[in-house]
């Protein structure tokens, strides 16, 4: 290996591995899938079976990271975490004792994902948000239950009339609004981009992540307010590097519902051919200002990405000629359980709206290839 290596760990490491490759790094990946394109992108790859549903354990993860580090001719520059750690800040802390963490600290993860701390911080900052509490309301109708540190939207469900409190969950009022995703590169300096998300509902889980399209243009006053929110929250929580913010626009007023203290799904739509976002993430996580790099070379095009799930039925992957607009490609013979993610489709177009339309069409095309019929 002649280039610098970097460790990547998460439920899926493909997007970060692709960005790292474009940035000139050799990625060493631990994830839950070991998809064929992840293995092609990675200098080496380790799979932790069952991590998607059970989470990562320190012993197994550390052994995998150590094996990958031992394969590299040069010591990895650090460890970048994808999804899968937001509910385990103690694990993040333990990892940071062994590896140089490129991203948010364990303390920042804990602050962002502790609902009592996070929403109290928003109140202090004067940032609008849905009413949120950890105690069960007398009548659960109109409330959402969310798992602390959950990701991907599958942890969110609508409450019934009777609600019981759980240590690992909190309650949030469901409010009507236009969903908006904001990606930030924060730390010493900050930059933001905006996307329209959509959901792929499943039974009793209406908020599962479906896809994203961006970058989108916003009215100047709204954009200025969103940037102010991003900067204030990042400073208050000590966020560093690539992070994402989930918001709802209610009569034009942004309401912040969640912060994800790590690179998110929007990396696929906002990164460029030079891996500028990965380079900027490393700079920001290292205490440097990434904004000069972004202003010099960051030129994202309108894109969309969307996830295909095995909602029709469990599926066994046969021999398939994957279109070049598909990533996260399972190996032949892989069995995908019903409702689990299969793959991700992508599109570049003249506008984010057009890209979203094409990505949705491609979901149907890919489903037909796998199931022999269009996606329901």
122-141: pLDDT as tens digits: 999 999 999 999 999 999 99
Q: What is the CATH number of the domain that holds 275?
A: 3.30.470.20
Average pLDDT for 160-185: 94
Q: What is the pLDDT of residues 242-275, one digit of tens each?
A: 999 999 999 999 999 999 999 999 999 999 999 9
Residue 104, both tokens: 């948010």
Question: Are 203 and 342 found together in one domain?
Answer: no
pTM for the predicted model, two decimal places? 0.95
Average pLDDT for 204-212: 95
**376 within domain boundaries:** no
Question: Are 117 and 255 found together in one domain?
Answer: yes
Q: What is the pLDDT of residues 282-328, one digit of tens each?
A: 999 999 999 999 988 788 889 999 999 999 999 999 999 999 999 99
Q: What is the pLDDT of residues 72-111, one digit of tens each?
A: 988 999 999 999 999 999 999 999 999 999 999 999 999 9
Computed over its alpha carbons, how large is the radius of gyration of the chain? 20
Domain boundary among 282, 297, 312: 297
Which three-class secondary structure state does DSSP give residue 241?
strand
For strands 79-81 and 5-9, give the pairing. Answer: parallel
Question: Are 191 and 309 found together in one domain?
Answer: no
Contact 286, 102 (CB under 8 A): yes
DSSP E strands in the chain: the ranges are 5-9, 26-31, 44-47, 79-81, 132-133, 143-147, 157-158, 169-173, 178-186, 191-199, 209-214, 241-250, 253-260, 303-309, 315-316, 326-327, 335-336, 341-348
Tell me which residue range forms the domain holding 192.
Answer: 110-297
Question: Are 161 and 255 found together in one domain?
Answer: yes
Domain boundary among 49, 77, 102: 102
- In this prediction, residue 300 carries a pLDDT of 82
């Amino acid at each position: 290996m002649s280039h610098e290596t970097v460790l990547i760990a998460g439920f899926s490491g493909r997007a970060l591995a692709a960005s790292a490759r474009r940035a000139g790094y050799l990625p060493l990946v631990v994830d839950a899938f070991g998809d064929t394109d992840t293995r092609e992108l990675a200098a080496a790859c380790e799979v932790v079976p069952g991590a998607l549903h059970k989470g990562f354990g320190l012993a197994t993860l550390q052994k995998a990271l150590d094996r990958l580090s031992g394969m590299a001719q040069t010591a990895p520059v650090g460890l970048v975490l994808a999804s899968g750690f937001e509910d385990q800040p103690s694990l993040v802390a333990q990892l940071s004792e062994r590896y140089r963490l490129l991203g948010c600290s364990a303390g920042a993860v804990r602050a962002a994902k502790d609902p009592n701390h996070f929403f109290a911080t928003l109140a202090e900052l004067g940032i609008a948000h849905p009413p949120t509490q950890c105690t069960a309301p007398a009548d659960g109708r109109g409330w959402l239950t969310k798992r602390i540190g959950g990701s991907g939207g599958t942890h969110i469900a609508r409450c019934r009339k009777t609600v019981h409190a759980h240590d690992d969950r909190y309650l949030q009022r469901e409010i009507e609004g236009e969903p908006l995703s904001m990606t930030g590169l924060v730390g010493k300096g900050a930059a933001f981009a905006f996307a329209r998300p959509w959901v792929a509902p499943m039974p009793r889980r209406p908020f599962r992540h479906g896809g994203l399209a961006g970058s989108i243009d916003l009215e100047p006053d709204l954009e200025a307010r969103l940037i102010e929110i991003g900067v204030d929250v990042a400073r208050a929580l000590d966020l560093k590097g690539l992070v994402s913010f989930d918001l709802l626009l209610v009569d034009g007023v942004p309401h912040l519902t969640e912060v994800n203290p790590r690179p998110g799904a929007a990396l696929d739509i906002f990164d460029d051919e030079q891996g500028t976002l990965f380079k900027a993430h490393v700079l920001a996580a290292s205490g440097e200002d990434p904004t000069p790099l972004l202003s010099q070379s960051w030129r994202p095009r309108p894109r969309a990405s969307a996830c295909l799930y095995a909602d029709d039925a469990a599926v066994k992957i046969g021999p398939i000629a994957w279109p070049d607009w598909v990533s996260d490609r399972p190996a032949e013979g892989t069995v995908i359980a019903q409702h689990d993610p299969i793959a991700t489709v992508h599109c570049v177009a003249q506008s984010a709206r057009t890209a979203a339309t094409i990505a949705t069409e491609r979901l149907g095309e890919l489903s037909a290839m796998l199931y022999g019929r269009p996606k329901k």
